[in-house]
Amino acid sequence: MTRPALLPCLALAALLALVPVRAADPTATFVAPGGSSLLVAAADAEGKTWLSVRDVATALGGTLAHEAATGSFELKIGPHTAVFGTGTPIAVVDTRLVPLAAAVRAEAGTAYAEPDFFSRVLSPLFGVAFTWDRASRTLAARPVETPEIGVEATVSAFEGTTKVVFRFSQAPSYRTEKGADQVVLRFPGAKLVPATPEVVPDDERVARLLLRPGELAVVLKGKDLSTNVYPLAAPPRIVVDVTRGAPPAPAAAPAATRVPGALVLPTPTPTPRPEPRVVVIDPGHGGTEEGAKGPGGLLEKDVVLALSRTVREVLTARGYRVVTTRDSDASVGFQDRTATANEAKADVFLSLHMNASRSPSAHGTEVYYLSLDASDRAAAALADAENEDEPKPTPSAETNAALRDLDLILWDLAQNQHLTASSRLAEIIQADFNRLLGITTRGVKQAPFRVLIGVNAPAVLVEVAFLSNPEEEKKIASEAFRRAVAETLAGSLDSFFRVGSDALAPVPFAPPPAERR
């Protein structure tokens, strides 16, 4: 080839080098329970392989729907459903809350999940077990053999309700059959291995429990009882709540006889007035439990009591109904504080405290909501200190299991129903106090505070200021600052109820560098 003929070829090669080459979309292989295999869409990110949930679900006979407005996905197979989003590593499988190793990713409306997702979410829906071979990029599903599942039962009474808790060695599939005097749980495709075939509790509502290889029965004392059955996770449990049924409604009064020709005027229907929001304020400590102590001698129990009175005054003026767990310098147990909130049918529970640190310069507000695991070591240490305020009687050996189950049930109920709302409320309060104090956020945290366990409402614990800081001790001692705190809390509640708990959390406030301190 002559030099003139070579030049156009070199020019063409240079041009092609400048055109970006799009790599083929990555794929993985899915092997169905029957042995057939197919390619499924996949994505590689963060050193991991993410597989298309829709492709795998469709291969197993399920469907996946995407709701663009909320960014959530709903997977259906027969009577079962699983709902999950892309922002939180949690899925709701039927009625169970299932933690995920990582949140699902979404690209152009397609959900991609780690292989572990399929074991946690799809296994109980489709009745198959999954294995992942990273080298060959193969996800294989195989039918699950009839498992042997260990089961044990406990019975405990709590606030007019008997809770029957069946604990399993692994999460089972079940169906419920309710009769006039018993509740029967059946477990198709599983063999139960009970620790004991029968339990006869000393209870006013439950006569006995029957534990058989294929079913569990709760025999009731009488026919005027109502029951509620629901599963809980970590560890897997099924709970049967037994309560007295509601009394029959009074018979309606007979209608008045209409006189022929008489003028009939319509009965005016009064416009119902909205019920005020109920806010339960919990001043921490009290009585012999002094809490933190400032360098000037100010005690936490006195500060939060004075603050709660100001908060109650401000909230009442704004139309809230306010209930406090203590109105004097008295010791109040954790369960009594929780009971006060639940009896008042609280819309929000605020536990007020003052912080302390070995560093006298530590300052600012910290807001916590409930978790069994602390978000950091400092949060764990603070929770331990707050939880030690109440004497802990040692339960007898025969009540240990029931108390353990009861604590876990109360935690799960609070977690499942109010975790999102509590997180939202904590974010709002934290952002508002950052503005009040003019500081960079200390961040919303989670910790296992016993005072929050079992509250049937969004609940947060607010460490308003550091009593160990001389400057903040002087501030919190003044009525003007306490009123500013009360007005800030009131504004936070107004925002929480106005925008709702499902909105996006606000961006924490951070003042310009010159204003930080």
**What does the pLDDT average to over 217-235?**
84
How do strand 321-324 and strand 278-283 relate by DSSP bridges?
parallel
Are 160 and 190 within one domain? Answer: yes
Q: Flag whether the pTM goes above 0.75.
A: no
In a domain, residue 16? The reply is no
In a domain, residue 290? The reply is yes
CATH number, position 191: 2.60.40.3470
Cβ proximity of 285 and 306 under 8 Å: no
What's the rounded Cα separation, in Å, for the pair 105 and 89? Answer: 10
Are 64 and 154 within one domain? Answer: no
Are 291 and 410 within one domain? Answer: yes
| pLDDT computed for residue 237 by the predictor | 87
Quote helix, strand, coil % in the chain, to nearest 5: 30, 30, 40
In a domain, residue 2? The reply is no
pLDDT digits (tens, 9 = 90+) for 248-297: 445 554 555 555 555 555 555 565 667 899 999 999 999 989 999 999 99
| pLDDT computed for residue 517 by the predictor | 31
Out of 49-53, 79-83, 196-200, 499-503, pick the least confident: 499-503
**Percent over 70 (pLDDT), the chain:** 74
Confidence of residue 417 (pLDDT cuts 50, 70, 90): low
Are 183 and 125 within one domain? Answer: no
How do strand 128-133 and strand 237-244 relate by DSSP bridges?
unpaired
CATH number, position 288: 3.40.630.40
> Which domain range does residue 165 map to?
148-244
Are 363 and 474 within one domain? Answer: yes
Average pLDDT along the chain: 79
H-state helical runs in 319-359: 334-343
Q: What is the dihedral of CA 411, 415, 416, 420, to 10 degrees?
A: 170
| pLDDT computed for residue 279 by the predictor | 96
**For residue 79, pLDDT beyond 60:** yes
pLDDT digits (tens, 9 = 90+) for 86-126: 877 888 887 667 888 889 999 888 999 999 999 989 887 77
**What does the pLDDT average to over 338-355?**
90
**For residue 438, pLDDT beyond 60:** yes
Structure tokens at 153: 């039962």
Edge-to-edge strand list for the sheet holding 80-84: 63-67, 72-77, 80-84, 90-93, 96-99
Half-sphere exposure of 275 (CA within 13 A, CB side): 8
Are 452 and 414 within one domain? Answer: yes
Are 77 and 181 within one domain? Answer: no
**For residue 139, pLDDT beyond 70:** yes
In a domain, residue 15? The reply is no
Structure tokens at 144: 């699950």
| pLDDT computed for residue 14 by the predictor | 39
Are 33 and 174 within one domain? Answer: no
Are 363 and 412 within one domain? Answer: yes
Are 62 and 190 within one domain? Answer: no
Are 431 and 285 within one domain? Answer: yes
In a domain, residue 256? The reply is no
Show which of 197, 224, 244 is a domain's final residue. Answer: 244
CATH number, position 99: 3.30.457.10
**For residue 206, pLDDT beyond 50:** yes
Tally the domains of the chain.
3
| Diameter of the chain measured on Cα atoms | 118
| pLDDT computed for residue 222 by the predictor | 83
In a domain, residue 263? The reply is no
Question: Who's near 333: CB < 8 A, 6+ residues apart?
Answer: 390
**For residue 385, pLDDT beyond 70:** no
**For residue 504, pLDDT beyond 50:** no
Are 50 and 159 within one domain? Answer: no
